[in-house]
Amino acid sequence: MPGARTGVLGYAAALATALLLALVGGWLGVQVDNYAYDWMFRRHAPEHRTCQSALLVVDENTLNRMGGMRRLREILAAGLEQLAAAQPRAVALDVTLPDEGDPSADARLEAALAGLPNLVLPCELVDDGRRWEDPHPRFRRHAAALGHVHADPDPLDNVTRRIPLAKATGRDRRWALSLEAFRLARGVAAVTETPDELEVGNLIIPTGRDPARPMRVRYLPPGPEGISRVPRIAIAELVSRPELGARLRDKVVFVGVIAQSAARDRLMTPFSYGRTMQGIEVHANAFETLAGGVFLRDASEMAVVSFALLLTVLAGLAFWFRSGWQAYALGVLVVGLAHFVPPWLFTRNVVLPYFGPALAAWLSVGSAAAYQYFVVRRRWRQAEAEKARYQQAMHFVTHEMRTPLTAIQGSSELMARYNLSEEKRRQIAELIHSESRRLARMIETFLSVERLSAGQMELRREPFEADELVHACVARVRPLAERKSIRIRVEPIEDGALLGDRELMEYALYNLLTNAIKYSPPETEVAVSGRRDGSRVRIAVRDQGFGMDRDELRNLFRKFYRTRSAEVSGEKGTGLGLCIVREIVTHHGGSIEVESEPGRGSCFTVVLPARAAARAGAD
């Protein structure tokens, strides 16, 4: 992996983005966490133990045998009379009694309630939570406590995974029916509160800082046909067989209606599998959770974020310090860790959200792997570019340096092989010296162009005149033009002040002139002209050569590209010259324009910033 600061920052940014997306996704994916929780709950269900509670219920058979719902209070009174004889530890009634009914039935029910120990009567919030609906005063005065009956199923899927132990409207707050029954059964005077917990005697209930004091219910595994394992007796059976009351002795008894035709609260639980559970059973399971004293604690938000951050960091380190199969193997371990930790913590009674950390692991591993892949590809492309540049250098050397090397080699052989006059030797020595200087300039120019291409060189900033540049280049190419009987017409350039690297610009213009001469027929003309155009200086080289079509013009400045006419002309070339020319002109802040038609020649125009404009741009 790259060690450059930009690479580190880019990699960190990719991982940070993955973490942020995972946290947002975890917040949006609450339902996935619910599914995961239900799966873990069923897989690690609490062991069956002797229940400390029981259900005394009004079922369909009870209603049919004892007169139906219109006689519900008489049915309850009959059952509670038998229950009092069984001596339960506490009784929680899950039937609201806000109004008066038949006087004789109410009197009997009131007398039955008066004979019960530790009685908890139900209440509930009505009118959209604006007020409490309490039992009628004649019943309420016999209650040791009032407990709310709200279960508050999850709004996303209507599954009751936790119940609020507290409900309030204004300053009037009530504890849950199950909590009050537990408190009275334990003989505790009041529930003690701390910021994160509730205390009932020696029992500490973790609830967090939510005002509703939610508690996750550890439902007992359902028995055959999905029926709750909390013992239950129907009132009709208890009335006809009073000896069944022995099963209720010293237990906390929840009394309510479970008949399908009458019960209005049917709730889903993690064990439901499509079956519903009556509210009275939920209350009994909540009581059993309290009685068991083993609670599921929700991991804090900080713990969730820290775990997701840890997974992201591990994924980042894996792909930063390793590559190939090792990095991917470590990435699989990170993803596996994200899937393993929540179920493992569940066995330790800690509920850690599943979706957010898992998403963090997948996104961070994917981001790190993608980043490494693209970095490797970028390095491969850089290596290919370096290889191409090296090949270009070799082509340049063989193409551009062959002429001076040939002249030097031929001249030195003449001096060594023949007995030449002093004058001839001096001429040959001057030629060797001239070509050597020319070769040195070529090498320096080539190295400068390479450094420009690699971004390793700053252009020299020196003033020069376009007219002087043109005459110097024309003087160099004139012998080549004379061998082909090509005329060179130069038009003077007025106000052509330029600022830049004169040596590189001379190389660029010289290359355009030599191309014009090489690919023009004998006895034609090459015209060089220029003019000031606002803040730009335009230098044009026009020939009467083969010309080019549109397809050739589109590819003209590609490395190693040669037109069809150039290939059949017999002139040697590598297709690098125009590429280098464009590189030089571009680095000077200029551009090249080309006009050409097959058979009608070509015109190459170099457009450069004038000296004042170039200086202003540099400033």
CATH code where residue 425 lies: 1.10.287.130
Q: Is 339 helix (H, G, I), strand (E, B) or coil?
A: helix
Distance of alpha carbon 37 from alpha carbon 43, whole angstroms = 10
The band of 297, judged by pLDDT with boundaries at 50, 70 and 90, is very high
Predicted TM-score (pTM) of this structure: 0.65
Of 345, 379, 413, the last residue of a domain is: 379
**Proportion of the chain above pLDDT 90, given as a percent:** 53
Distance of alpha carbon 528 from alpha carbon 537, whole angstroms = 13
- Same domain, yes or no, for 409 and 479? no
Q: Is 331 helix (H, G, I), strand (E, B) or coil?
A: helix
Model confidence at 616: pLDDT above 70? no
Range of the domain at 169: 47-293
Stretch among 8-17, 87-96, 201-210, 433-442 having the lowest mean pLDDT: 433-442
CA dihedral 569, 573, 576, 577 (to 10 degrees): -80
Provide the H-helix boundaries in 533-604.
550-554, 564-569, 577-587
> At 614, which amino acid appears?
A
Angle CA 361–365–371, to nearest 5: 145
Strand partners, 163: 215
Model confidence at 4: pLDDT above 60? no
Of 250, 269, 293, the last residue of a domain is: 293
Distance of alpha carbon 335 from alpha carbon 104, whole angstroms = 68
Domain assignment present for residue 536? The answer is yes
Distances (CA, A) of 68 to 65, 261, 262, 395, 462: 8, 10, 9, 105, 109
DSSP string covering 15-44, please? HHHHHHHHHHHHHH-HHHHHHHHHHHHHHT
First-to-last alpha carbon distance for the chain, in angstroms, is 38
Domain assignment present for residue 394? The answer is no
**Proportion of the chain above pLDDT 70, given as a percent:** 87
Angle CA 50–54–59, to nearest 5: 135
- Same domain, yes or no, for 327 and 289? no
pLDDT of residue 2: 40
- Same domain, yes or no, for 529 and 438? no
For residues 75 and 556, the model is more confident at 75
CATH number assigned to the domain comprising residue 528: 3.30.565.10
pLDDT digits 0-9 by tens, 481-515: 888 899 999 998 888 889 888 888 888 899 899 88
Q: Is 230 helix (H, G, I), strand (E, B) or coil?
A: coil
- Same domain, yes or no, for 57 and 168? yes
Q: Which two tokens stand for residue 408?
A: 């030097």
Domain assignment present for residue 384? The answer is no
Distances (CA, A) of 95 to 40, 174, 258, 280, 289: 33, 17, 11, 9, 22
Domain assignment present for residue 453? The answer is yes
Q: Which two tokens stand for residue 83?
A: 């229950």
Distance of alpha carbon 417 from alpha carbon 406, whole angstroms = 16
- Same domain, yes or no, for 436 and 543? no
Stretch among 281-295, 310-324, 380-394 having the lowest mean pLDDT: 380-394
- Same domain, yes or no, for 412 and 469? no
Q: Is 160 helix (H, G, I), strand (E, B) or coil?
A: coil
Q: Which two tokens stand for residue 262?
A: 């009458």
* Radius of gyration for the alpha carbons in the chain, expressed in angstroms and rounded: 47
- Same domain, yes or no, for 136 and 76? yes
Domain assignment present for residue 594? The answer is yes
- Same domain, yes or no, for 66 and 128? yes
Cβ(162)–Cβ(216) below 8 Å: yes
Mean pLDDT of 83-109: 94
- Same domain, yes or no, for 151 and 74? yes
- Same domain, yes or no, for 317 and 267? no
Domain assignment present for residue 524? The answer is yes
- Same domain, yes or no, for 90 and 205? yes
Domain assignment present for residue 447? The answer is yes
Distance of alpha carbon 38 from alpha carbon 33, whole angstroms = 9
Average pLDDT, the chain: 86
Stretch among 33-47, 293-307, 453-467 having the lowest mean pLDDT: 453-467
For residues 55 and 552, the model is more confident at 55
Domain assignment present for residue 116? The answer is yes
Q: Is 1 helix (H, G, I), strand (E, B) or coil?
A: coil
pLDDT of residue 1: 41
- Same domain, yes or no, for 343 and 242? no
The band of 227, judged by pLDDT with boundaries at 50, 70 and 90, is confident
Cβ(167)–Cβ(180) below 8 Å: no
Residues 6 or more apart in contact with residue 85 via CB below 8 angstroms:
242, 245
The band of 198, judged by pLDDT with boundaries at 50, 70 and 90, is very high
Q: Which two tokens stand for residue 163?
A: 């119940």
Cβ(217)–Cβ(224) below 8 Å: no
Tell which residue, 143, 49, 133, 137, has the closest CA to residue 90: 143
What's the gap between Cα 321 and its chain centre?
Answer: 21
Domain count, the chain: 4
Of 379, 414, 431, the last residue of a domain is: 379
> At 460, which amino acid appears?
R
Long-range contacts of 103-109 (CB under 8 A, 24+ apart): 105/71, 105/73, 105/74, 105/77, 106/73, 106/138, 108/73, 108/74, 108/77, 109/73, 109/74, 109/76, 109/77, 109/80, 109/139
